[in-house]
Structure 1
Amino acid sequence: MKFRTSLLIAGTFAAGIGVGVIVPVVRGALADSPAGDNTYQQLGLFENIFQRVKADYVMPEPSRKLVYDAMNGMLTGLDPHSGYMNKRQYADMQAETSGQFGGLGLEVSEASGFIKVISPIDDTPAAKAGIKPGDLIVAIDGKPMVGMTLNKAVDAMRGPPGSQITLTLKRAGVDKPIIDTLTRATIHVQAVKDKLYGNIGYMRLASFSENASRDIRRAVHKLRAESHGHVDAYVLDLRNNPGGLLNQGIAVANDFLKTGEIVSTHGRHSSDDEVWYAHPGDALVNHAPIVILINSGTASAAEIVSAALQQNRRAVVMGTRSFGKGSVQTIFTIPDHGALRLTTALYYTPSGKSLQDYGVQPDVEVHESRNPKDQFPKIREADMPNAFHNPSGMKTPILPPKLVLPAMVKTIAPRPPANWPKLVPDKPSTDYQLQMALKLAAAMVHQGGAHQDGSSQADASH
């Protein structure tokens, strides 16, 4: 028997935040082995090796460490997102999904023996230090990271608020190592930031913590009040959003949809398959046009929202291809020990396709910089060890007709012009992707909102 308490769509482990989709559970011990299974023979082999290590290894090792390492080896060999969490790690994960935790605010993954940055979180020590998606962490406090497990690297980066840590980074296009000394802090993630640009409302969602939908609705009301009811379009910024709770991803998508499928999950047991649909009602009241900003750091729950709004023709997606995480992790709590984080399902978009490997393809491709070397070309799920291959997909349903974009979209260059200022995080005027999103949103207002092309052909895109 299992008691399901929540679901997380998480992409990677984090030095201060988690990514993806989760479901915590309490479950009993081992299930019955299938007929003909030689499980107990293999367990006997494990016991033999365990006893040999205990007896003859050059240094005495505690049994707890050997068992812990063996469990993690088994789980990390399955896929990048399964693993065992001890009590402290489980408590850290619970704090992360609540939106308040200690650390650097840096989400990381393991890639080819190195620790790679997926994204920093807004207004955290990592973001303020200028750490970028795609940076490789090659040393922590002078200790090389080559070959270090992700769990150990994350543990090394965590610590009490106020303590310092020095990271040595390798960045694409930069010949010399970058050395940053950061001060750990208690991270209070402000889930939503909002700002009014004329008659365009801007909302940046940093992660899908437990109050994401509530905070989105509050931002909508705040923007409406500031504009005296005259917000004509919105930009929803999901760049570098690593995901979070599945129920919050579904809730945020539902905030902007009146009807249509949001996402479905399909696992090993058909009895656990689920489909979620939008309910009538739209937080924007006037069904105002929406432009969604994404990039390679947009992962998991953020991809669910992007795909749901894109494929239901509710929003236009701008930016660069997203991370491509399409799996769901269930958290099985283990009393007096910690928790098992196990991949139990894949999720599918309204088109019937999985985002695994592929991610969300923007309707309008716009890059942050002119220089292709500013980021590593591959900072995505498909490059992680033991990542799933994209499944064949399900039967493709008929989706609403595609949106017809304003003619001005052809004037939006995929990269900033030569005289565009260097991006400064606190200066929106230097953010080329944001400025183009505002420009497109305004044009959609002037043409009465992006309209549909009247066709009814199925959408085979991811």
Structure 2
Amino acid sequence: MRLRSGLMLGGIFVAGLTAGSLAQPLSRAFGQAAPNDSTYQQLSLFGDIVSQVKQNYVIDPPTDKLIYNAANGMLSGLDPHSSYMNAQQYANMQVQTSGQFGGLGLEVTEVSGLLKIITPIDGTPGAKAGIKPGDIIVEINGHSTDGLSLDDAVNKMRGTPGTKITLTLKRNGINTPVHVTLTREIIKIDDVKSKLLTSSAGPIGYIRLDSFDENASAHIRDAVKSLTKQAGGHIHGYILDLRNNPGGLLDQAVAVGDDFLNSGEIVSTHGRHPEDDQVWYAQDGDITKGAPLVVLTNAGTASAAEIVTAALQQNRRALVLGTKTFGKGSVQTIIPIDNEGALRLTTALYFTPSGKSIQDYGVTPNVTVAETATPEDSFSQLRETDLLNSFTNPTKESAPPLPPAPPLPPVASSIPSKPPANWPSFDPSKPSTDFQLQMALKLIADMHATRTTTASN
């Protein structure tokens, strides 16, 4: 999970809350509301319930636990991405966002009470152990995860580097439990990985972005410089791999989009108060100088990654190949609370250059290509709409016109929608086994550099 103060677009979240006096926060929240205001009446009811529990429950429960559970229920009932972190949880989050922490390197979410793997982070114990997107964690060190909160599960999986932990997994297509023993490591988040690939049209720069942390744009720019140098100054095109990228910082989504555009709208946000609405436009300076660009996506492409995908696709800068994205169109703000923790609150929805929200819908690729020969068994089934209390799509107005879509390269019609049955099993160390990547190379070889066209401002 990657959170910062300010606007967030991360698709992974942690539940939590803090104890403390209600009087001062309520005074700030409701101002000079009349004593008979319905909000105060309901809070009186809440106080009565707490009093009855404290007096008559079979044991005397800690008050902070009662407030913790109450706040947790209040926020999780709003939407899947609002939560409260007590001081310790907030500190843990800040450690993780520093770029390294002791753990397994797994992006985890909670769906209908199940702890589900979104993706293992490349090069971490989770990835090395063969844990797959879509795996469900049913036991941690032999203890059932039934009823375990996402926050508690994450805390159990973190720990001192060098210590061991055993996870029991339920995996699609396998009827018996999968037991995996892992050794915790210092997880260093290397958000950008790049390499030079070959195609029939010449060298292709491959850039994989794992998350939108505070260095995403800078690292993308460094990767382009390095690849250009490796290729002796000539690169036919670039593949930007955003598969299983859960999102991150809004400002970095804007910056990365701007890296590949000369002009045009990147994204806009619309919240409860119109005066807070914002729109971001690209500035001149495409770092690839208009080289052909393909974006790789799947159902794990979420939030900030969807902003970049939609901006590049709708400004006719890139073609998107893969499967439909996750569909998270909400923005969260981190609000510290009296040095006792922080509130992660959904404060806006974002809209793509077309004027539409992708909430629940996601981004549809120009060329649909599944990762496996049996896509029905893959992680692609889990999207924003599967999360409890997710927003419905708010788009009601017709979208402004976009530049006309250029025709797809002729080779696109020959690209199959899924790998053949005899395609080798995916091996991260062997690009030849990555079917989507191989189809992207085929597509980009048939593309030509073009001056960036833009959506109307």
Q: TM-score, normalised by structure 2?
A: 0.91
Aligned to 1:96: 96
Secondary structure, counterpart of 1:323 in structure 2: coil
Mapped contact 2:316–2:452 kept (Cα < 8 A): no
* 1:347 to 2:350 alignment: yes
Q: Which residue of 2 aligns with 1:20?
A: none
Q: Deviations over 1:264-309 (max 9, x none)?
A: 111111111111110111111x210100000011111001000000
Q: Where does the alignment leave 5 or more consecutive residues of structure 2 unmatched? A: 16-24
Deviation at 1:97, TM superposition (A): 3.4
Q: Is the 8 A contact 2:314 2:455 kept in 1?
A: no
The percent identity for this pair of structures is 59
1:235 pairs, out of 233, 239, 260, with 239
Change (3 A) 1:12 1:37: farther
Residue 433 (str. 1) matches residue 432 (str. 2): no
Does the alignment pair 1:392 with 2:395? yes
For 2:118 and 2:377, how far apart are their aligned partners in 1? Answer: 14
Which deviates the most, 87-96 or 107-116? 87-96
DSSP 3-state at the match of 1:190: coil
Contact 1:238/1:293 (<8 A) preserved: yes
Note if 1:424 corresponds to 2:427. Answer: yes
**Which digits, 9 at most, give the CA deviation of each residue in 1:394-439, with x for residues without a partner?**
4411111112221111111111123321111211110001111111
Task: Please tell me the residue identity of whatever aligns with 2:42.
Answer: Q
Partner of 1:45, secondary structure, is helix
Output the amino acid matched with 2:153. A
SS at match of 1:7: strand
For 1:246, the equivalent position in structure 2 comes to 250
Root-mean-square deviation (CA, aligned residues, Å) is 2.3
Q: Are the aligned partners of 2:298 and 2:380 in contact in 1 as well (CA < 8 Å)?
A: no
Which residue of structure 2 lines up, in the alignment, with residue 9 of structure 1? 9
Q: Quote how far apart the aligned CAs of 1:174 are.
A: 1.1
Return closer, same or farther for 1:377/1:30 CA change in 2, 3 Å cut-off.
same
For 1:328 and 1:27, the matched residues in 2 are separated by 24
Q: Which amino acid aligns with 1:261?
A: E
Check whether the contact 1:110–1:385 (CA below 8 A) recurs between aligned residues: no
- Gapped regions of structure 1 (runs ≥ 5): 16-25
Displacement, 1:350? 0.5
- Compared CA separation, residues 314 and 114, structure 1 to 2 (3 A): same
Match of 1:382 in 2: 385
Displacement of 1:5 after TM fit? 5.2
Q: Does 1:271 align with 2:275?
A: yes
2:244 is aligned with what amino acid?
N
How far residue 451 of structure 1 moved from its aligned partner, in angstroms, is: 9.8
Q: Which amino acid aligns with 2:233?
A: G
Question: What do residues 136-189 of structure 1 show as CA deviations (whole Å, max 9, x unaligned)?
Answer: 111111111223222222222222222222111111111111111122222111
User: Hey, what does 1:127 align to over in structure 2?
Assistant: 127
- Counterpart selection for 1:220 from 224, 237, 247: 224
Normalising by structure 1, we get a TM-score of 0.90
The alpha-carbon distance between structure 1 residues 82 and 326, as it changes in their structure 2 partners (threshold 3 A), is: same
Q: CA deviation at 1:27?
A: 12
State which of 410, 416, 428 in structure 2 corresponds to 1:407: 410
Q: What SS does the aligned partner of 1:65 have? A: helix
Relative to structure 2, which stretch is displaced further, 138-147 or 428-437? Answer: 138-147
Residue of structure 2 equivalent to 1:160? 160
Kept in 2: contact 1:289–1:450 (CA 8 A): no
The amino acid of 2:333's aligned partner reads T
Gap change, CA 1:420 and 1:381, over 3 Å in 2: same
Structure 1 residue 450: Cα displacement: 10
| Partner residue, 2:42 | 42
* Counterpart Cα distance in 2 of 1:276 and 1:377: 30
Q: CA, structure 1 residues 449+432, in 2 after alignment: closer, same or farther (shift >3 Å)?
A: farther
State whether residues 354 and 393 of structure 1, in contact with CA within 8 Å, keep that contact through their aligned partners in structure 2: no
Between 1:113-122 and 1:432-441, the stretch displaced more is 113-122
Residue deviations 1:323-359 (CA, integer Å, cap 9, x gap): 1111011111012311011111110111111111111
CA distance in 2, matches of 1:174, 1:373: 14
3-state SS of 1:139 partner:
strand
Secondary structure in structure 1 of the residue aligned to 2:138: strand
Report the counterpart of residue 285 of structure 2 in structure 1: 281
2: CA distance between counterparts of 1:372 and 1:127? 20
Counterpart in the other structure of 1:172: 172
Shift of 1:449: 5.2
**Corresponding residue for 2:71?**
71
Contact (CA 8 Å) 1:92, 1:101: kept in 2 or not? no
| Residue type of the alignment partner of 1:291 | V
1:32: which partner in 2? Answer: 31
What's the CA shift for 1:47? 1.0
Q: 2:37 & 2:120 partners in 1: Cα distance?
A: 45
Take 1:41 and 1:365, find their aligned partners in 2: how far apart are those partners? 53
